A and B are shown apart, each in its own frame.
Chain A
Amino acid sequence: MAEVIIRKLTKTFGDNTVVKSVSLKVEDGEFLVLLGPSGCGKSTILRLIAGLEDVTSGEILINGEIVNFVNPVDRNAAFVFQNYALYPHMTVRKNIAFPLETAKLPKEEVLKTVNEAGRILELDQLMDRLPSQLSGGQRQRVALARAIVRKPVVFLMDEPLSNLDAQLRQQTRIELMELHQRLGITTIYVTHDQIEAMTMGKRIVILKDGELQQIDTPTRTYEKPANTFVARFMGAPPMNLIKGEISLASGQLEFKGDGFTSSLDYLKMGLTPDLISRHNNETVSLGVRPEHIEISSDVSAGELSGVVKFLEPTGADLFVNIAIGEETAVVRCQPKAKVQIGTKVSLKFASENVQLFGADSWNINSNL
């Protein structure tokens, strides 16, 4: 088990910088998720830690030792690839045994370790099959078995579930979590799926265009996103963002949007008058999640309201798309809510569920 630290890690391919001075620390035994859209640099960071790519600048430390120039095998990090990377001409047994045979371990030890890994991952009946004779989930388990036999100090997983169907993905997710609980090995997991990130990670690292956006627990990244990118990336549907200006009036925070004014309790939002005054006369974005908005047909003058444009019934919910001027807000309602397209509705939400983002798109609450 090991602690992994990366300091100002940068990676450039030609003129393209794909990882921009990223620093983070993974605690011993932690399950950390790297999340972000395609091309954000998350897989590259993983490959840099594994030693599959050379670092342009910055440092990678595993257990306090700088490993920038250490061979992949000597970093003692196991890598699970997105497409499993099983050796197609070798049986399951030989695939799992490969790293041990490469290390020239005695035959008896190899046999014992391989059988143990096969037992842990329920591969006993499949040991003599070729990868082409296995299902996606089985191949995934073989890839995991090949990783654990090396007794690594770090697990690096690059979107290991992306090639599985939804049901199998859910099942394998649970198996992975159980494996992590059992083995307690530090794990860095890359995914673009926020459901995986939210359910698996102790902390999530959100990346965009090679830059770190936020490192936090799943709950906090969801409830208190660091900027508008995180706010929109996390959650489906994403957080609603409504533009306006803020000021202090009568001990309350006033948010003036296009044709409406909302009064909010800034104390419940975790803000101070000083923070608010820094963003006077600036176009800010008010962020509120779809499930935190209540709609009502009772509309008063000057309050936040809009016209229902579209309804999306999903079975468990009804998503109501509301046009507010030129912007659109999505509200999550009960599946049988009586909402008509074309009606004008008011939108109400509690202050503690509101986030404010400055003109620079970052959350104005510096205490996050």
Chain B
Amino acid sequence: MSSKHPIGIDLEDLARQDALTRRAKSALSYFVLGLFVLISVGPILYVISPAFRESKSLFSYPPQWLPNSFYLGNFKFLLTETNYIRWGINTLIFATSVTLISLVIDTLAGYAFARMNFPGKKLLFGCILATLMVPTAALLAPTYLLVRNLDRWTFGLIGLDTFGGLIIPMTVSPLGVFMMRQFIETLPKGLYEAARIDGASEWRIFTKIVLPLMKPAVVVLGIFVFMQQWANFLWPLVITTKDETRVLTVGIATLQGQFVTNWGVIAAATLMTIAPIIMVFLFFQRWFVQASVAGALKQ
């Protein structure tokens, strides 16, 4: 027995149509999401198979997507016949140092721009934002020359093929300053005022009140910077010439020979290089969500 609305509409029929529409919309959503996942994750998955296969089998016909057995020779070659471990240590030092220094600079600068008043504040912030418009490639040559010339002024601490030269120019991030400033501005003004009335200095307000509340944003920025520097290719390529100072991205590129390339080894190197980044992200992913909604929710 169908239930009818007083004006004659079949409610069961309406409900059935509604359920069908919802199912169709859901299917479309899954399809689109699936496509997106395929495009994003596909290249990474594509690297897994060659890493566990011998190079000679990579170009066999018909193509073999999955290895018959797990060949570890590529990894063994990478770790014993190349400077991969050295490159890995260099990359860890490079990415970690840039991250830590960036976070210090960005949080302090963000706080100053968000909460302090000083002459020229707006102009200065505008200038910092304006540098976002400048392409990285355009800054490569002048930065290279600057670092090269700093060598004698810094007793070799900052120069070509030095950690100083590698790290220092990468610690300045207008986007990081902007992000920190925006986040700090979402914190209630009353907290600062209460702290000022309680006698706290600007430094105490920053360290005891603001910084603890910025944890999600700081973690997210830190992860972004770390990942960005872990994968940084252009600057390390330009500033390092010796194998001892190379980072992973540049080192892997050197595995590509002029005439012959061991693609299996390169695939193995790529897999080993991206694995830590994936683990870092998985470990810290809840902070991403926290930082994303921090500004949206009313305190």
Contacts and interface: CB of A to CB of B under 8 A. Distances in A.
Interface residues of B, number: 17
Interface of B: 188, 190-191, 193-200, 204, 208-209, 212-213, 299
B190 A81 contact: yes
A78 B204 contact: no
B198 A73 contact: yes
Contact of A89 (B193, B196, B204, B213): B213
Given A52-B193, A79-B194, A85 B188 contact: yes
Question: Considering the complex of A and B, which 3 residue pairs feature the smallest CB-CB distances, nearest first?
Answer: A73-B199, A85-B190, A99-B198
Nearest to B198: A99
A150 B193 contact: no
Interface string A46-86: 00001110000000000000000000110001110101111
- Interface SS majority for chain B: helix
A266 interface: no
Given A83-B188, A85-B191, A89-B213, A52 B196 contact: yes
A174 B193 CA distance: 27
B197 A79 contact: yes
A103 interface: yes
The residue in B199, B200, B299 that gathers the most chain A C-beta atoms within 10 A of its C-beta is B199
Contacts, number: 51
A79 B193 contact: yes
A341 B114 CA distance: 60
A146 interface: yes
- Interface SS majority for chain A: loop
B136 to A, nearest CB: 37
A332 to B, nearest CB: 40
A150 B190 contact: no
Given A73-B199, A102-B204, A87 B209 contact: yes
17 contacts: A50-B197, A51-B197, A72-B196, A72-B197, A73-B196, A73-B199, A78-B197, A79-B193, A81-B193, A84-B190, A86-B194, A87-B191, A88-B213, A98-B198, A98-B200, A102-B199, A150-B198
B222 to A, nearest CB: 19
The residue in A89, A103, A146, A150 that gathers the most chain B C-beta atoms within 10 A of its C-beta is A89
A85 B194 contact: yes
Contacts of A88: 213, 299
B207 to A, nearest CB: 12
Contacts of B188: 83, 85
Given A83-B188, A85-B191, A87-B191, A52 B212 contact: no
